[in-house]
Amino acid sequence: MTVRILPSILSANFARLGDDVARMEAGGADWLHVDVMDGQFVPNLTFGAKVIEAVRSVTRLPLDVHMMVWQPERYFDDFAAAGASRMLIHAEATPHVHRHVHRIKELGCAAGVAINPGTPVEVLLDIAPDLDTVLVMTVNPGFGGQQFIPHTVEKIARAREILTRAKSRAVLEVDGGINRETIATCYRAGADAFVAGHAVFAASDPKAEIGELRRRAVEVAT
């Protein structure tokens, strides 16, 4: 499987956002992960369309927009216009997942569904064939720097089984506590895209750190 590394700009220094984004791009990041939080679905409050637009203006990397918000449909048009490449909505945040996935695709973006640590992966069963991404949260969403939750590894494996049975080519992404010690376990379980925040932004050499994460995913897991 291809290993994609997605630095999360939640860990960037916003006083020098352009420089930090350039460091990630030069370091070999595959996509950039943008966490949108509304202060209601999760306790924290973060970025909106203006930040997506600002990041898009300084990079060509795909922007993976993780929408930790109630009523995500309110933001689709603005985020697509701002430059989002893919939008991930939470299964817990709306009763209309199928409708919203297809609306995101109508806007020209890839579409995905995220699930929290306490949400059964079976919510993906009826939507799996339509998805471009499944995001399994390996921490409870809302804050950076949390500890990886070990039992989520089983959820990653079950999500991979669901995608395989659906003959889906969706990316299986994980987010939360990903570092040198946890990435191989997630890769072995079936994940192929990894959101990393502090692990890469705090590194003195992001290129070396991203390369090491890739190496550990594949070599330690095999």
Catalytic residue positions, numbered? 35, 175
Q: For the chain, give me the number of helices (H) and strands (E)?
A: 8, 8
Report yes or no: 87 and 68 within 8 Å, Cβ to Cβ.
no
Q: Quote the CA–CA distance of 178 and 168 in Å, as a whole number.
A: 24
Return the number of other C-beta atoms located less than 10 Å from residue 140's C-beta: 14
Length of the chain measured in residues: 222
Q: Quote the CA–CA distance of 139 and 137 in Å, as a whole number.
A: 5
